[in-house]
Copies of this chain bind each other. A is one copy, B any other.
């Protein structure tokens, strides 16, 4: 299936767009947009000017009807008999997803997972700028990640406030996660992406997403065991 999702985010998923009443966009649709954006990159690299919903379906593993429905939530970008203009659609998706804004990201926890995320295709130089990194391990502090010196976690709160950090990615051990989040929230962060396998509490004005890397392996295990 897809990625493993866990827990509960805060805040609604509603959204209205430019003109007129727009139906509420399902969270599942938003997650698929991310994939459309990625595969459009490869289609664009191939030099194709247009794609059909059928092609996008086979490239993503979704259905053609899903593709058309998903895109139609945001307007009518397609030409009947032709398909979607690749470059224009990709640009539009970037705007919808907000990944054309250069969000300022703080990374807390610079272990293997933190470093892997920064290097993951689609993270850096893709609308997300990791502008600060923090860790509690003295042997890591002072080293560099994405060109940034790693600072002690104690510096997080002031950094979020002073350096306009929009989003914090938490890749610390579960036991340390709530404390990290409390500091980030106190300093006014707007969104948190949590990889620690623990349930975090944040005020409703802060967007929270959880990723539990164990969920998908266990899902596969269940499938095999069945």
Name A's B-contacting residues (CB within 8 A).
1-9, 11, 13-15, 27, 30-35, 37-39, 59-62, 96-99, 101, 103, 111-113, 115-117, 119-123, 126-128, 166-167, 169, 174, 190-191, 193, 197, 199, 207, 209-226
B219 touching A34, Cβ below 8 Å: yes
Contacts of A226 in B (CB 8 A): 14-15, 98
Closest B residue, CB atoms, query A32: B6
A34 to chain B, nearest CB (A): 4
User: Are B27 and A1 interface neighbours, CB within 8 A?
Assistant: yes
Q: Are B35 and A215 in contact (CB under 8 A)?
A: yes
Q: How far, in Å, is A14 (CB) from chain B's closest CB? A: 7
Q: A121-B214, A224-B167 are in contact. Are A8 and B1 (CB under 8 A)?
A: yes
Q: Nearest Cβ in chain B — how far from A33, in angstroms?
A: 7
Partner of A214, one of B120, B207, B225: B120
Given known pairs A197-B122, A212-B3, the reply for A221 and B127 (CB within 8 Å) is yes
Are B5 and A103 interface neighbours, CB within 8 A? no
In contact, B4 and A5 (Cβ under 8 angstroms): yes
A126 to chain B, nearest CB (A): 8
Contact call B31/A215, Cβ cutoff below 8 A: yes
Count this chain's copies in the assembly.
2
Q: Closest B-chain residue to A5, C-beta based? A: B2
What's the minimum C-beta distance from A25 to chain B, rounded to whole angstroms? 9
Q: Are A197 and B116 in contact (CB under 8 A)?
A: no
For A37, the chain B residues whose CB sits under 8 A away are: 218
Which residue of B is nearest A2, CB measured? B5
A17 to chain B, nearest CB (A): 9
Min distance, Cβ A116 to any Cβ of chain B, angstroms? 4
Known contacts A30-B219, A112-B115, A209-B1; A224 and B103 CB within 8 A of each other: yes
- Whole-angstrom distance between the alpha carbons of A224 and B207 in the complex? 8
Q: B residues within 8 A CB of A103?
A: 221, 224
Contacts of A126 in B (CB 8 A): 214
Contact of B3 with A210 in the complex, beta carbons under 8 Å: yes
The CA of A164 and the CA of B35, in the complex, are separated in Å by 33
* Closest B residue by C-beta to A166: B224
* A222 proximity list for chain B (CB < 8 A): 15, 30, 33, 96-98
